[in-house]
């Protein structure tokens, strides 16, 4: 598997293991150290791809209105397009400061969304959503996927064009 992932032949990997600076260790120990060290590096690289900065970056870079929804149905972060979307559809005076006034209803319970994402291997799930503020309401569809994280705590939501 290491050979396939690194595009190296087995003999090259064995040579690298032989060259490891380990005092009086046999080749099988060197191979175990090599494989374990490689797995630790890969795990650390994956952790950096799955932290909060990664999913915030995805939302901020999205070319459509996007936000991150917690399991408790709280909006954690959103992009400028989302601000513009809400201002255009609900209230021209909407800002990040009055986010608490924004009401949101999903067409399916958040638990069912999470179950569907798990069952479908995190393929996007389309969900109807109703947003409201003061006396105005608007309905749209979002595409939802898990945010990159170890815990599957948050859901990235992208408002689809109508």
Shared-domain flag, residues 65 and 145: yes
Length of the chain: 162
Judge whether 114 and 106 are in contact, CB under 8 Å. Answer: no
Shared-domain flag, residues 97 and 24: no
**Cβ neighbours of residue 91 closer than 8 Å, sequence gap 6 or more:** 133, 134, 136
Shared-domain flag, residues 61 and 33: no
- Dump pLDDT digits (tens) for 75-115: 989 999 999 999 888 877 777 777 888 899 999 999 999 99
Give the structural domain span for 16: 2-49
What pLDDT score was predicted for residue 18?
A: 73
Shared-domain flag, residues 69 and 149: yes
- Dump pLDDT digits (tens) for 43-62: 676 666 567 788 889 999 99
What pLDDT score was predicted for residue 80?
A: 93
Residue 65 confidence (pLDDT) above 70 = yes
- Dump pLDDT digits (tens) for 112-136: 999 999 999 989 999 999 999 888 8
The model's pTM is 0.71
User: Number of H helices and number of E strands within the chain?
Assistant: 6, 6
Cα–Cα nearest to 68, from 43, 104, 97, 115:
104
Helix (H) / strand (E) element for 19: namely none
Per the structure, the count of domains in the chain is 2
Distances (CA, A) of 138 to 65, 97, 103, 125: 14, 20, 11, 20
Shared-domain flag, residues 33 and 61: no
**Cβ neighbours of residue 62 closer than 8 Å, sequence gap 6 or more:** 79, 81, 158
Question: Cα–Cα distance between 127 and 114 in angstroms, integer?
Answer: 12
What pLDDT score was predicted for residue 50?
A: 63
In this structure, the number of other CB atoms found within 10 A of the CB of residue 38 comes to: 14
């Amino acid at each position: 598997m290491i050979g396939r992932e690194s595009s190296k032949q087995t003999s090259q990997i064995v040579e690298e293991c032989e060259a490891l600076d380990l005092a009086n260790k046999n080749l099988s120990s060197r191979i175990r150290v090599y494989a374990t060290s490689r797995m630790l590096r890969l795990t650390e690289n994956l952790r950096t791809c799955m932290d909060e900065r990664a999913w915030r970056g995805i939302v901020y870079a999205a070319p459509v209105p996007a936000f991150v929804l917690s399991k408790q149905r709280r909006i954690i972060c959103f992009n400028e397009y989302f601000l513009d979307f809400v201002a255009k559809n609900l209230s021209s005076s909407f800002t990040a400061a009055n986010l608490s006034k924004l009401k949101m209803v999903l067409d399916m319970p958040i638990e069912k969304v999470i179950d569907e994402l798990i069952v479908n291997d995190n393929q996007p799930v389309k969900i109807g959503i109703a947003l409201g503020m003061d006396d105005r309401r608007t309905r749209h569809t979002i595409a939802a996927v898990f945010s990159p994280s170890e815990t599957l705590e948050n859901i990235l939501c992208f408002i689809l064009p109508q």
